[in-house]
Amino acid sequence: MWLLRGFVFLLVLCLLHQSNSSLIRLNHNGFEDIIIVIDPSVPEDEKIIEQIQDMVTTASTYLFEATERRFFFKNVSILIPENWKENPLYKRPKHENYEHADVIVAPPTLPGRDEPYTKQFTECGEKGEHIHFTPDFLLGKKQNEYGPPGRLFVHEWAHLRWGVFDEYNEDQPFYGAKSKKIEATRCSAGISGINRVYKCQGGSCITRTCRIDSKTKLYEKDCQFFPDKVQTEKASIMFMQSIDSVVEFCKENTHNQEAPSLQNKKCNFRSTWEVISSSEDFNNTIPMVTPPPPPVFSLLKISQRIVCLVLDKSGSMAVIGELRPHLDGSEVVLLTDGEDHTASSCIDEVKQSGAIVHFIALGTAAEEAVIEMSKITGGHHFYASDKAQNNGLIDAFGALTSGNTELSQKSLQLESKGLTLNSNPWMNDTVIIDSTVGKDTFFLITWSSLPPSISLWDPNGTIMENFTVDATSKMAYLSIPGTAKVGTWAYSLQAKANPETLTITVTSRAANSSVPPITLNAKMNKDINSFPSPMIVYAEILQGFVPVLGANVTAVIESQSGHTEVLELLDNGAGADSFKNDGVYSRYFTAYTENGSYSLKVWAHGGANTARLSLQPPLNRAAYIPGWVVNGEIEANPPRPEIDEDTQTTLEDFSRTASGGAFVVSQVPPPSQITDLDATLQEDEIILTWTAPGDNFDVGKAQHYIIKISGSILDLRDSFDDALQVNTTDLSPKEANSKEIFAFKPGNISEENATHIFIAIKSIDKSNLTSEVSNIAQVALFTPQANPDDTYPTPTPTPTPTPTPTTDKSHNSGVNISTLVLSVIGSIVIVNIILSTTI
């Protein structure tokens, strides 16, 4: 009981933030339990609530028609900040809280950039985290630039719910099409418009035709696509839903597979509708005959948190049912051995009560009904090991948070460490307190046998006295008054028993309410999983909404028997990491030592001159509309604020820890898919580069590679084994996450009139398990030219386009090309290559 008494006290002090888990349900074609949260930092304005309701109502009708009468928005909860004034229409939340937010209304990630975006760091077809709208966008101040809010909400909803991606690409706005013209990246290709450079300076603006860049052989950097205001094309919502005629997602027959859009790259050239129609939502519904009702809104105002700690000693968890009348909108933390078989009888009662149930199993068993109870009520579940490394119950309690608390009031974990000491009685280390935290700093030390000798020094070397020692609870703690000094704190603990288990936990809050603290959130991609679906560790580091790059991030995964696996998490855009430099650090977990439950804990450390803030606009952001073409003339929108993406803010030293909860895994995984295959050209060879996968996902070393080429992108994707194989005898795989380089001379391809050569790779492990086909790189067999429509009118002279390469027409089959143009990642290099032909 000593430990539990200590944790009741700890629960009040150590409530930490955890990643989002949506509570959305699809019920008879209608999406229910959508949570839209207004961030506490947003100034009070009731018009925001009105605009949210108007946006969702309009979006519901648009979504219904766009999905062929299949989906609509049924009910939505709007969570209102505690610091807004009272209103009789506002009710108390039940399961709804900030950490389950599907939509967040908050200031822009970067000043002046109000583009909506969806936090999405998983793969194609997998749900995103949340949608971010700014107050100015909702209040209609940015409608010219981003279009009507209702239509844009459907665009973002498709990101969030169905894991599709944008069909534009600001990094690659143009490409060389099969028509041998330069085209704007879009879907469908039937969307009409003109490509122009539009510049304003000193109150005057000029429009001119786009010049061709001598390096890329595509249009220059300042060239933009201006769509015609009046269109007839119906697709696509994931390109530019603000066009009046656009009411559909791109389908297989309208999808533009040539465009270098993120949808093509991430979803293997499938259209957005193909991804949506293969979703669980789609497969569990049929089209409706009658129109849907309008959405129902609940206005909920955040209120004081009520937490009840329940210790199950009876062998029966019926105590939850007995507490039901007192639980409306409150939370229950249930500690149990998990072996009770009567919990299923009170699941419905608990759900109706409005209580949030957090489940902590103190052993290796866990009744599925209790896990289900925590899920359906929006709670968390943990397996608390008695091993020292992960601090067991301390970390389980530490991961429980009120997501409705303002960020400046959240208690953040700076350190959490435990050791079992035998021959060496000392536990010595340091803790970094950075300038974004320091308020209410709290040191907690526990032991299993006898109170240790405790020494703690601040950054000036001053020893800190006055630890409060509770021998009965076997814990000692110290609260630093005011704001703790910035710098490195050192501690030394000497055990007085052999063996002895010691733990230390350090928490702190934001030092200044106007400066957001650095935060760390950790999660697994799934709670329960088995091969071949991979388990992925995610850790996101932010300051406010701005990603933190360059940190050292380590995950420790502990099995229920106490075996630990240490993984370095990476933000390199390869392997398990979907996007490079987005502040989300990822890694596959493959070292399964046993079937059953595992717990996750993550450490993050930012060293001076290495960690930095990203000043790039958020990924998966709404398309900025530069203007419209009306009656042949450009009606331009105000230019959006320019951001120097090369400028980065270097951060000071910092450290954070976070618990990622519990999960269950089984079986053995294959190598990971290669996702960053790229190509360049040197003389007569194509040079391929990619990040090496592992023997098991991105751990270890693959056994060998299979490289195939084809003149058809779909044949290579769908019939990889039948494509022409490249000789890889001299190619030996490197360790996972190493950079691979391989050169080869292209041979014959069978397709006549092919305009591109497409290249892909599979990796094979020592168990002969095969990875998925890599992303597909391509080599263009022509020099793209300016679109004739873009050269008229021409206010300024346009450079003469590069001549079209000639081909030998004396052959009826094969390829004989004197000029090969390599077109990958927006760059085109002209070289001389002779490809032999077959007669």
Under 8 Å between Cβ of 758 and 713: yes
Helix 46-66 with 149-162: angle, nearest 10 deg: 70
What does the radius of gyration of the chain's CA atoms come to, in whole angstroms? Answer: 29
Query: Which residues, in sequence order, are CB contacts of 659 under 8 Å at separation 6+?
Result: 16, 18, 382, 395, 396, 398, 399, 522, 599, 600, 601, 602
Give dist(CA 156, CA 622) in Å, integer.
Answer: 8
Of the residues 96, 145, 156, 233, only one is catalytic, namely 156
* 156 a catalytic residue: yes
Distance CA 176, CA 183 (A): 6
**Residue in 39, 134, 23 with CA at minimum distance from that of residue 405:** 39
Nearest to 93 by CA among 36, 146, 32: 36
Query: What b/e readout covers 569-590, taking b as 16+ CB neighbours within 10 angstroms?
Result: bbbbebbbbbbebbbbbbbbbb
3-state SS, residue 716? helix
Q: How far apart are CA 102 and CA 91, in angstroms?
A: 19
Residues 40/150, Cβ–Cβ less than 8 Å: no
Conformational region of residue 553, where left means phi above 0, alpha means psi within -120 to 50, and beta covers everything else: beta
Q: How big is the CA angle at 77 (ends 55 and 41), to the nearest 5 degrees?
A: 80
3-state DSSP assignment of residue 356: strand
Cβ atoms of 523 and 22 within 8 Å: the answer is: no
Are 16 and 398 spatial neighbours (Cβ–Cβ below 8 Å)? yes
Q: Are the beta carbons of 238 and 250 closer than 8 angstroms?
A: yes
Q: Give the torsion sign (CA, 90, 92, 96, 99).
A: positive
- Contact assessment for residue 458 and residue 489, using Cβ atoms and an 8 Å cutoff: yes
Backbone angles phi, psi at 115, to 5 degrees: -65, 130
Instruction: Give CA–CA dist 404/682, Å, rounded.
Output: 56
Cβ atoms of residues 236 and 248 within 8 Å: yes
Task: Please name the residues in contact with 60: beta carbons below 8 A apart, sequence gap of 6 or more.
Answer: 72, 73, 292, 294, 295
Q: Annotated catalytic sites, by residue?
A: 156
